[in-house]
């Protein structure tokens, strides 16, 4: 365990548990670094066949801890490094999602293979509402996965998507009762480990398609993300968030 990340190693699966339940598992730079280290370990070990990502408490992940993120450059650098690491990860990833999945809590799921959610899970990508742009390749992957109209509601309006809608849209693999979620995800991770590893890896690469296209989009998003973070719109949106008031955006 390190900095609100618990890593467990069991029967060919590395489990990464976000363990900051009092903050709904909002991610700090240190948490990102812990996840990066766990994924690097899993990638390097031939005895590991899959990774499982889960959150402790009543939320999967509330996105970035905004105070930590805005405290200095390390928050943004760690977030970008995590995005690049999970996008390049070459073994199957299973996610177990309960409660809120906000921002990167949703966009990291586009890089997972099997995603199980409880009935009250809610997926939110409020980037535009904060005066910034999406990340983790989500501007490419969300429309490809669920179609432009559904992706537009989430990315342009920041509208939440409930578990049933996410299931219909193809964002999640299935809906599982809360008391069975982790056990179900573990069973599916174990099933992946039991599959022929070379055929599994080759099939996953085929399903993922051209990595160069995704990498280019992640880089483009990152460039625009940095630019929009410095904009007047983002400054107003973040100020309104911390002051718990509606933002006022100027036009023209």
pLDDT band at 251 (very low <50, low <70, confident <90, very high): confident
- Here the tokens at position 177 are 């009762």
CB 184 within 8 A of CB 116: yes
Q: Would you give the distance in Å from CA 37 to the centre of its chain?
A: 16
pLDDT at 110 over 90: yes
Contacts of 120 (CB under 8 A, 6+ apart): 98, 99, 162, 163, 178
pLDDT digits (tens, 9 = 90+) for 83-98: 999 999 999 999 999 9
**What predicted TM-score, i.e. pTM, was given to this entire model?**
0.95
E-state strands within the chain: 5-10, 13-18, 50-55, 93-97, 100-102, 114-117, 122-124, 161-162, 174-175
What pLDDT score was predicted for residue 182? 98
Ramachandran area for residue 89 (φ above 0: left; ψ -120 to 50: alpha; else beta): beta
What is the rounded CA–CA span in Å between residue 8 and residue 218? 29
pLDDT digits (tens, 9 = 90+) for 199-234: 999 999 999 999 999 999 999 999 999 999 999 999
pLDDT at 76 over 90: no
pLDDT at 74 over 90: no
pLDDT band at 1 (very low <50, low <70, confident <90, very high): low
pLDDT band at 183 (very low <50, low <70, confident <90, very high): very high
What pLDDT score was predicted for residue 250? 85
What pLDDT score was predicted for residue 68? 80
* Residue 51 or residue 242, greater confidence: 51
How many Cα atoms occupy the beta-carbon half-sphere of 95 within 13 Å? 24
pLDDT at 143 over 70: yes
Average pLDDT over every residue of 48-69: 94
Q: What is the 3-state secondary structure (H, E, C) of 158-175?
A: CCCEEHHHHHHHCCCCEE
CATH numeric code, 1-178+196-252: 3.90.226.10
């Amino acid at each position: 365990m390190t900095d609100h990340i618990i890593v467990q190693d069991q029967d060919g699966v590395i489990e990464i548990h976000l363990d900051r339940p009092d903050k709904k598992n909002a991610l700090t730079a240190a948490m990102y670094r812990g996840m990066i280290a766990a994924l690097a370990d899993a990638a390097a070990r031939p005895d590991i066949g899959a990774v499982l990502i889960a959150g402790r408490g009543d939320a999967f992940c509330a996105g970035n801890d905004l105070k930590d993120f805005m405290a200095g450059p390390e928050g943004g650098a760690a977030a970008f490094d995590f995005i690049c690491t999970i996008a390049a990860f070459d073994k199957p990833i299973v996610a177990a999602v309960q409660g809120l999945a906000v921002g990167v809590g949703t966009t990291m799921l586009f890089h997972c293979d099997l995603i199980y959610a409880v009935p009250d899970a809610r997926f939110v990508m409020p980037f535009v509402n904060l005066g910034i742009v999406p990340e983790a390749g989500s501007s490419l992957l969300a429309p490809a996965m669920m179609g432009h109209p559904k992706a537009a509601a989430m990315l342009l309006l920041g509208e939440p998507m409930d578990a049933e809608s996410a299931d219909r849209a193809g964002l999640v693999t299935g809906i599982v009762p809360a008391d069975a979620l982790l056990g179900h995800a573990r069973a599916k991770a174990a099933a992946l480990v039991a599959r022929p590893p070379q055929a599994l890896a080759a099939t996953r690469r085929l399903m993922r398609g051209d990595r160069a296209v995704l990498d280019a989009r992640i880089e483009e998003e990152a460039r625009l993300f940095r630019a929009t973070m410095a904009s007047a719109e983002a400054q107003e949106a973040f100020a309104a968030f911390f002051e718990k008031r509606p933002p006022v955006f100027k036009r023209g």
